[in-house]
Chain A
Amino acid sequence: MMNKSEPYLLEARNLSFCINRALTLQNVSLTVKKQETLGIIGPNGSGKTTLIKLLTGILQPTGGSVLFKSLPLRAYSRKTLAKEMALAPQSSGTNFPFSASQMVMMGRYAHLGAALFESKRDLEIVREAMQFTGVLPFAERSFNTLSGGERQRVIIASALAQQAQLLFLDEPTSSLDVKYQAEIFETLRKLNVQRNYTIVIALHDLNLAARFCTRLLALKNGEVAAVGTPEQVLQPDVLEPIYETELEIIKAPENGGFYMLPKIRPNHG
């Protein structure tokens, strides 16, 4: 099954995770190929964030293993891995008044080596990352005083400054305006197409997931409920049992795409 010439970039085998003896994730296996965009979808509490934390090594699985380039995550040093994979977590806050640019500069940690301070080149990379996500205008503002959406863009900039080719994002657009949703996905698309980034993204918005991802993995109660292309997964008979609600599919005539909406009676109907 595994192609010798092109091994998977990331592979999870039978991941299980227990917290307080309750199983929050059970037998999750998945593969990520280089340059693909994998979307993780599923209802609230289905284990999307836990799965991302296991894949990035923040949490240790109770059972199973995560392989990066065919080797377990533990085989790599923290800094080596940080140059390979980055994460923009769902929410982040700090009790200390770091500025937005300081938060982004922290993304350079693994690249600094023995140097105590960032070089001119590091600053240039940080500046470019901040420009990419449009957060340069408030580079000097305290991170804590920014809005949720602004913070998310700062964190994404920090992940970009890390220059890791495998990017994990946990609900990156959940508190963003439509404008910034578009910009973030435009940015991610550019990274994916122009710079060969591989992207694993947890999303609860099915329409965004369908638009952006080449493959979707749906979780339900900590188990994989469906895997496949957006066309295969976004079917009422697949998703209705996962979300336990009736869904409606609306074809988008302009590009052959489609939208999925929960069935609600229209207000004039």
Chain B
Amino acid sequence: MAKPDDGNESDRVLSTPPFAAPEKRRVFTLAMFATLFALVLLAAPAIGPTHIDFSKVFDSHLPFADNVDAQILLITRLPRVFLAAITGAALAVAGLVFQAILGNPLATPYTLGIASGASLGAVISIRTGLVIVVFGVSSLVLSAFVGALLVMFFIYLLTRGTGGLAPATLLLAGVALNFLATALMLFIHFLADFTESYQMLRWLMGGLDVTDYNLIASAGVMVALMLALMLTIARDLNLISAGEELAFVRGVNVARTKKIAYFGASFMTAAVVSVSGPIGFVGLVIPHLLRLLVGSDNRVLMPASILFGASFLIICDTLARTIMSPLEIPAGVITAIIGSPFFIWLLLREKGKIHA
């Protein structure tokens, strides 16, 4: 009775997924996303309001100062594409990780107020008008970064006494701090004059028009390190998102994993938000879309999110700087215009499930 399946049945099941050649499926899936990323990375710098003649870009006889095509490519377009890739990958994975540790598929990298902390730091910097440059990084970026990290530590301290990063406590502390940081930011915004106010508003819209390679490289290194760290806990996050108690008895060091996940994802978010501003919806949309395509296994979902998150934001930013050219729409607006309807569709779908 305990073995209700006859031989034929088990043969059939063995030859179907997930028991048949799962490696092939994984390799194929990730190869697809890698190809997409490579194509986007190659195509995006070539697209823009000004046509670039690639034969001139690499013409060594022309000095760089006179080579307009090379200047457009190397000074205005390439850094944007790199920053979009870094930001997209970081936000997608941070969203995925927060969803796992909060046990809630609707969490985003900004749910706990990391982005509000960065925004508060940014508006304080704009209002005080302090211009300090440390290691080639402007006070605006530094202030935003510090703001985000402060929120990260405050939330951690608030939740420490109560069973260590329990989803409900984490969410409550995070949402409370999110409101506080947002309120303080609005207060400072209220005190600002018109010029400052415009600067603040533009920062809050999020944008990838950064041309400083040093800044992009620093953000890139931080994000790369954190992404590598997150990939090492992908398997543990699978078990945690399937239930913490079950994960514990299956052998996962739940407390340690959640700490690594929380700090890694927060740090990564802080790094990109302080450079690009709070670009929305990437962190929600990408993990969800990919879950529908490749399933919930973080060992596949996470690398896919890196590749597709990067591709998605490069595409959005390319749209942002071309569809209304010469006007450039902030990338955050484009991602939200694509992201919001998706979010609503998702909510309706969830609602449908409950009534079904």
Q: A: which residues have CB within 8 A of B?
A: 53, 56-58, 78-79, 81-83, 85-87, 89, 92-99, 101-103, 105-107, 109-110, 112, 116-118, 123, 126-127, 131-134, 136-137, 139-140, 143, 155, 158, 162, 182-183, 186-187, 190
Q: List 29 A-B contacts (CB under 8 A).
A: A57-B249, A78-B248, A78-B253, A81-B251, A87-B245, A87-B246, A92-B243, A92-B246, A95-B105, A96-B105, A96-B241, A97-B291, A98-B297, A101-B19, A102-B295, A103-B242, A109-B235, A109-B252, A112-B235, A116-B299, A117-B23, A131-B3, A131-B10, A134-B3, A134-B4, A134-B5, A139-B13, A140-B18, A183-B2
Residues of chain B within 8 A of A131, CB atoms compared: 3, 5, 10
CB distance B239 to A58 under 8 Å?
A: no
CB distance B5 to A137 under 8 Å?
A: yes
Kindly state the separation between the CA atoms of A94 and B249 in the bound complex, as whole angstroms: 16
- Say yes or no: A93-B243 contact (C-beta < 8 A), given A78-B253, A110-B251: yes
At the interface, is chain A mostly helix, strand, loop or mixed? helix
Kindly state the separation between the CA atoms of A123 and B10 in the bound complex, as whole angstroms: 13
Pick from B26, B252, B253 the residue with the most CB of A within 10 Å: B252
Residues of chain B within 8 A of A87, CB atoms compared: 245-246, 249
Q: In the complex, how many angstroms separate the beta carbon of B194 from the nearest chain A beta carbon?
A: 45
Kindly state the separation between the CA atoms of A95 and B252 in the bound complex, as whole angstroms: 19
CB distance A82 to B250 under 8 Å?
A: yes
Kindly state the separation between the CA atoms of A96 and B5 in the bound complex, as whole angstroms: 28
CB distance A107 to B18 under 8 Å?
A: no
CB distance A96 to B251 under 8 Å?
A: no
Pick from A87, A89, A95, A106 the residue with the most CB of B within 10 Å: A95
Choice from A56, A93, A136, A162 contacting B10 with Cβ under 8 Å? A136
Give the size category of B's interface with A. 35 or more
Residues of chain B within 8 A of A79, CB atoms compared: 251
CB distance A132 to B2 under 8 Å?
A: yes
Asked if B211 is at the interface of the complex by the 8 Å CB criterion, the answer is no
Kindly state the separation between the CA atoms of A95 and B105 in the bound complex, as whole angstroms: 7
Asked if B14 is at the interface of the complex by the 8 Å CB criterion, the answer is yes
Choice from A56, A97, A134 contacting B295 with Cβ under 8 Å? A97
Q: In the complex, how many angstroms separate the beta carbon of B352 from the nearest chain A beta carbon?
A: 13
Interface residues of B in 83-129 (CB under 8 A from A): 99-100, 103-105
Looking across the interface, which residue of chain B has its beta carbon closest to that of A85? B249
Kindly state the separation between the CA atoms of A127 and B245 in the bound complex, as whole angstroms: 24
Residues of chain A within 8 A of B291, CB atoms compared: 96-97
Asked if B17 is at the interface of the complex by the 8 Å CB criterion, the answer is yes
Kindly state the separation between the CA atoms of A58 and B105 in the bound complex, as whole angstroms: 24
CB distance B18 to A102 under 8 Å?
A: yes
- Say yes or no: A134-B239 contact (C-beta < 8 A), given A78-B252, A106-B246, A109-B251: no
Residues of chain A within 8 A of B296, CB atoms compared: 96-98, 102
Kindly state the separation between the CA atoms of A75 and B47 in the bound complex, as whole angstroms: 61
Residues of chain B within 8 A of A101, CB atoms compared: 18-19
Residues of chain A within 8 A of B2, CB atoms compared: 132-134, 183, 186-187, 190
Looking across the interface, which residue of chain A has its beta carbon closest to that of B253? A78
Q: In the complex, how many angstroms separate the beta carbon of A97 from the nearest chain B beta carbon?
A: 5
Asked if B238 is at the interface of the complex by the 8 Å CB criterion, the answer is yes
Known: A87-B246, A107-B250, A116-B299. 11 other contacts (CB 8 A): A57-B249, A58-B249, A85-B249, A95-B241, A101-B19, A109-B235, A109-B250, A109-B251, A109-B252, A112-B235, A140-B16
- Say yes or no: A132-B3 contact (C-beta < 8 A), given A97-B296, A106-B250: yes
**Which A-B residue pairs are the 8 nearest by beta carbons?**
A82-B251, A110-B251, A79-B251, A87-B249, A96-B296, A94-B242, A109-B250, A187-B2
Kindly state the separation between the CA atoms of A53 and B13 in the bound complex, as whole angstroms: 35
Asked if B66 is at the interface of the complex by the 8 Å CB criterion, the answer is no
- Say yes or no: A58-B248 contact (C-beta < 8 A), given A96-B241, A136-B13: yes
Kindly state the separation between the CA atoms of A158 and B249 in the bound complex, as whole angstroms: 11
Kindly state the separation between the CA atoms of A102 and B10 in the bound complex, as whole angstroms: 17
Please encode chain B, from 234 to 264, with 1 for each CB lying within 8 Å of some chain A CB and 0 for all others: 1100110111011111111100000000000
- Say yes or no: A116-B235 contact (C-beta < 8 A), given A58-B245, A131-B5, A132-B2: yes
Kindly state the separation between the CA atoms of A176 and B170 in the bound complex, as whole angstroms: 36
Kindly state the separation between the CA atoms of A97 and B5 in the bound complex, as whole angstroms: 26
Asked if B1 is at the interface of the complex by the 8 Å CB criterion, the answer is yes
Residues of chain A within 8 A of B241, CB atoms compared: 94-96
Residues of chain A within 8 A of B19, CB atoms compared: 101, 123, 126-127, 139
CB distance A94 to B243 under 8 Å?
A: yes
Asked if B49 is at the interface of the complex by the 8 Å CB criterion, the answer is no
Kindly state the separation between the CA atoms of A193 and B246 in the bound complex, as whole angstroms: 26
Asked if B9 is at the interface of the complex by the 8 Å CB criterion, the answer is yes
Kindly state the separation between the CA atoms of A139 and B22 in the bound complex, as whole angstroms: 14
Residues of chain A within 8 A of B297, CB atoms compared: 98, 102
Residues of chain A within 8 A of B4, CB atoms compared: 134
Choice from A102, A109, A136 contacting B9 with Cβ under 8 Å? A136
Q: In the complex, how many angstroms separate the beta carbon of A18 from the nearest chain B beta carbon?
A: 14
Kindly state the separation between the CA atoms of A90 and B86 in the bound complex, as whole angstroms: 43
Looking across the interface, which residue of chain A has its beta carbon closest to that of B23? A117
Kindly state the separation between the CA atoms of A183 and B5 in the bound complex, as whole angstroms: 13
Kindly state the separation between the CA atoms of A140 and B19 in the bound complex, as whole angstroms: 10
Residues of chain A within 8 A of B22, CB atoms compared: 117-118, 123
Pick from B250, B253, B295 the residue with the most CB of A within 10 Å: B250
Kindly state the separation between the CA atoms of A252 and B36 in the bound complex, as whole angstroms: 70
Kindly state the separation between the CA atoms of A109 and B299 in the bound complex, as whole angstroms: 13
Q: In the complex, how many angstroms separate the beta carbon of B356 from the nearest chain A beta carbon?
A: 10
Residues of chain B within 8 A of A93, CB atoms compared: 243
CB distance A106 to B239 under 8 Å?
A: yes
Q: In the complex, how many angstroms separate the beta carbon of B100 from the nearest chain A beta carbon?
A: 8
Pick from B2, B5, B100, B297 the residue with the most CB of A within 10 Å: B2
